[in-house]
Amino acid sequence: MYIYIINIEFFITLIINIYFFVNLRNYYIVISHFHKTMKKGALTLKEQYMLYGLVQNPQMTDKELSETIKLKHSTATAIRHRLRNYEFFRTLVIPRLQNLGCDMLVAIYTSFSPLIPLEERIRITEPTIEVFDEIFLSVGEQDKGFSLSLSKDYATIGNINDIRTQTFGGRGLLEDEYPNMVVFPFTISKIYRYLDFAPLLKTHFKIDFETEKTIRNYGSQDNTNVMFMETEKNVYYLLVKYPEMSDDDIGKELGVSRHTVSRIRRGFEKDKLIRKINIPDLKKLGFEILTFTHIRFDPRNPPDMERDEAAVLMDNSTIFMACRMYETVMLSIHYNYEAYKGDKTKMMQILRENKWIAKDPVVRTYGLNTMIFIKDFKFAPIARKIVGCTLLI
């Protein structure tokens, strides 16, 4: 009888262990599937809404976002942490330097000899060209590349371009032409879109929220340049270099109080000297193509700058657009080749219907999976230089 009882207990224990083992295994299968799904970019509907909200309204708190996109506060916070942990987005603080002594934004694009490997080209240009603080974005592919820069004057950027041309030519990197430089002085130019990914995600996720359709000029320049005190220079630089550093940590680094840093930060935000953005990981979301477009308008019939007529060339794929009277440069992101062809066709139709061009624009495509970011939105060096910060961290 005693042996019979022991066998029953053993049998029950075995059943319980099997039950927990099966459930534990199922748990790990679910978790493993979740991790794989997140890494592939297959977001749930709530995750899509939250990512769009973070990109559209980067200044909002989780509570404010939850009210905007109709989620529970706790759910919004959990999703944000999840998206952050899986690096679906990253935060930048963009310096608005046109009121701090910076006079122009410059785009440069070049065709390279396909005989020189991209890695070799980068090895040559990193210590000679990419080292300049003015260049904040530099992208390369095997036979082409482009960069965006901010400069306090034409002499500085002209000197950089001379060194660029001399280096490219002397090392046999160029194909058949000099580097093409397009200069946008802030006083006579308009920046209609400046690293704004929200319209792109809105279309991609098929989100039907109403959004503001006002045409903005992110390159607007006030008449007077702002002068910083030493502590303000240091705080400004650290905010740009370490966008997620807390006010308390910045204060400890500089030997000032958190209250002082918070007050200075609020002043920068009020005067629109900095702009916080969240950039989505486009490759994780499945996007394949980036396009660089340079349009030279027909001088006999350019779009009216005062009426912002050229802004009609933007669509939801456009993440950057700088324009002056006779030319514009745009960066766009496309999910695949079909989407790229459709967007290009619409752009060409607008240009031809308005008779704004005498010849076709330069359109260069980059594969998001094959191109290399040589400089990936590195604003801190030029911010430090323009404001005169002496910090070395």
Digit-coded pLDDT (tens) for 19-58 = 655 554 554 444 444 444 555 568 999 999 999 999 999 9
| Whole-number CA gyration radius for the chain | 26
pLDDT value at 308 more than 60: yes
Q: Around Cβ 359, how many Cβ atoms within 10 Å?
A: 8
Digit-coded pLDDT (tens) for 218-256 = 888 775 678 899 999 999 999 999 999 999 999 999 999
Q: How many angstroms separate the CA atoms of 307 and 192, rounded?
A: 13
Assigned fold of 104-204+281-376: Alpha-Beta Plaits (3.30.70)
Q: How many angstroms separate the CA atoms of 198 and 159, rounded?
A: 36
Indicate if 104-204+281-376 has the same CATH topology as 41-86.
Answer: no
Q: Determine the pLDDT at residue 29.
A: 44
**CATH assignment of 92-97+224-280, given 1.20.810.10, 3.40.50.300, 1.10.1130.10, 1.10.10.10?**
1.10.10.10
Q: Which residue has the tokens 């030493």?
A: 230
Phi, psi values for residue 306, rounded to 5°: -65, -35
Digit-coded pLDDT (tens) for 80-119 = 999 999 999 999 999 999 999 999 999 999 999 999 999 9
Q: How many angstroms separate the CA atoms of 262 and 258, rounded?
A: 6
Q: Class assignment of domain 41-86?
A: mainly alpha
Digit-coded pLDDT (tens) for 164-217 = 999 999 999 998 789 999 999 999 999 999 999 999 999 999 998 776 677 888
Q: Where are the domains of the chain?
A: 1-31, 41-86, 92-97+224-280, 104-204+281-376
Q: How many angstroms separate the CA atoms of 6 and 49, rounded?
A: 57
pLDDT value at 12 more than 70: no
